Amino acid sequence: MQRICLFPGTFDPITIGHVNLIERALPLFDTIHVGVGINTTKKNMFSIEQRIQWINQSFLDQPSIIVSAYEGLTIDHCRKIGASFILRGLRQSADFEYEKSIADTNRTISGIDTFFLNALPEYSSIASVLVRDLLLHGGNTAPFLPKHVQHDIANQLFNEKTRA
């Protein structure tokens, strides 16, 4: 049986914390689908296409990683792609409080189990929401982003400034 897993998230944008979690999960599964959830009620900073491109560029030499967008219930997307497992990361204990009931609910209605990996200590305070906040206020995001993402964002900001 193929061990197919879905790693769902917003990835707005992908951080080195996400990358590390996916890399550590690679030996556990045959295929990891990184699912970028489309949430119409949530206002995102980066477009879905941009977020997918950045994730793809983070794993160019990893054929077992597939990136796609999905809308609706995570378990419905699992069924569509044949995933029997969901992967989520835990940074702080608050993550666990929040994730536990979602994982329990998903298992009850679909039988799909969620696996949790603890963030490494050096990544446990890295969050896309903090990166977005830094970007909004001109802070340095380089310590938290893959190099290509930081490079693209710096270029975008430069282009915006030179256009203004």
Residues lying near ligand ADP in the complex (CB under 6 A): 9-11, 15, 17-18, 21, 88-89, 91, 95, 119, 123, 126-128
In eight-state DSSP terms, residue 116 is E
Which residues on neighbouring strands pair with residue 85, listed in sequence order? 5, 113
Cβ at position 31, least distance to ligand ADP in Å: 17
* CA nearest neighbour of 78 among 116, 43, 42, 31: 31
Cβ at position 24, least distance to ligand ADP in Å: 9
Cβ at position 125, least distance to ligand ADP in Å: 7
Nearer to ligand ADP, 5 or 126 (CB): 126
Nearer to ligand ADP, 9 or 146 (CB): 9
Cβ at position 19, least distance to ligand ADP in Å: 9
- Sheet with 31-38: list strands edge to edge: 65-71, 31-38, 4-9, 85-90, 113-118
Nearer to ligand ADP, 119 or 153 (CB): 119
* CA nearest neighbour of 124 among 25, 51, 18: 18
